[in-house]
Structure 1
Amino acid sequence: MRNTALHVLRRGFTLVELLIVVIILAVLAAIVIPQFNSATSDTQEAALDANLAAMRNAIELYKAQHGSYPGDKASSGGTCAAGNAATGAADSAQAFVDQLTLYTNAAGQACTQGGGAFKYGPYVRRGIPDDPINQRGSEVTEIRVTSTGAPLTASGSAGGWAYDTTSGQFVMDSNATATDGRAYSLR
């Protein structure tokens, strides 16, 4: 009797039992992992929508205070009492970034410090955000600026931003599609 009791206590899992557990874990992993990827895509698209809304609001506020869209006029040419003057030429990405991230006067000339005539802005305090899908757009070279007034179309799938200084249209510069089937540039 004692020998039988010891034998029962020392018994481990059989190979079949271990295989069943491994198969169950593999099936569960196959179900759960794609849901994490979908949640990541949904989160990135929600962040893209939030960034687009914030940038479009900043652009409209600039227009309401200056009478034209940012980047339409040069950000350079101002005389700053304190700080450094901006350097962007009209219809350039540098002027767009300067006029949204620095202090501006009524003519759209930008300065790194506010006060005096430079009483407007900054409209975007932490700089131009990256697009959350491709992590591009915060650098001046990653913003494509036009002045045609025509509806913007994406120039590729690299990401970043596209902006028109005549219409104020601001979109993601990508022809890749979101989970809902729409191109990111049409959001």
Structure 2
Amino acid sequence: MATRTRRNTGFTLVEILIVVVILGILAAIVIPQFTNASEDAKSSSLYTQLQTIRSQLELYQIQHNGAYPTLAQLQDDTGGGTGDQWGVMINKTNVSGTIDAANEFGPYMQQPPKNPFTNLSTVVAGTAYTADLDDGWVYDAATGSIWACGFDEATGTYSSTSGS
């Protein structure tokens, strides 16, 4: 009589552990690549957004006899009612910057811009970039310059700490 030898099929515990370790190593290599791509996309979006905001501030200045919006005018949330500010940029204004739907200038933006790193549209006074992440934008009314809070354009990096 012939005897049959039974052969066990399947994977051993050691083989399964080796596969799990290899998958873990691959995940450790691949996941940071996607994280960097996400931050690069935010940075690229922010550069474009800053260019748009700056060009609209220049247009406002040209149409308002050389005057940039004051900080108070940017902090006004008239029309939006959401507390997002940017009143004179998202509403029609007259030559002196008074908001009224019947006026001839603007709106310069459809909605208040949000800083993609802080997800805020609030505007604060300043004369340079700040690492503070408690607001959306830093604005110098004397020069019409604007910077994104938490984002250093010179290095293309953002701060990940809050100022409060």
TM-score by shorter chain over 0.5: yes
Cα offsets for 1:110-133 (capped at 9, x unmatched):
11x24xxx11110011x2211101
Residue in 2 aligned with 1:70?
69
Aligned counterparts, 1:11-160, within 5 A? 11-67=9-65, 68-71=67-70, 93-94=75-76, 97-111=86-100, 113-114=101-102, 118-125=103-110, 127-137=111-121, 142-145=122-125, 151-154=127-130, 156-160=132-136
Relative to its length, the structure with more helix (as a share) is: 1
Deviation at 1:177, TM superposition (A): 5.3
Distance 1:102 1:47, change over 3 A: same
Aligned to 1:144, the other structure's residue is in SS state: strand
Cα offsets for 1:5-59 (capped at 9, x unmatched):
xx34x51101121111111101110101111111111111111112111111110
Cα offsets for 1:74-97 (capped at 9, x unmatched):
xxxxxxxxxxxxxxx56x622872
Aligned to 1:3, the other structure's residue is in SS state: coil
Gaps of 5+ in 2: 78-84, 160-164
Aligned to 1:52, the other structure's residue is in SS state: helix
Residue in 1 aligned with 2:162?
none
CA contact (8 A) 2:89 2:107 kept: yes
Match of 2:116, as an amino acid? P
Normalised by the size of structure 2, how large is the TM-score?
Answer: 0.77
Q: 2:138 aligns with which of 149, 162, 181?
A: 162
Match of 1:143, as an amino acid? V
Aligned residues: 150
Gaps of 5+ in 1: 73-88
CA contact (8 A) 2:133 2:149 kept: yes
Match of 1:3, as an amino acid? R
Quote the Cα distance in structure 1 between the aligned partners of 2:113 and 2:143. 21
Identity of aligned residues (%): 33
Residue in 2 aligned with 1:86?
none
Match of 2:139, as an amino acid? Y
Over aligned residues, Cα RMSD in angstroms?
Answer: 2.7
CA contact (8 A) 1:172 1:184 kept: no
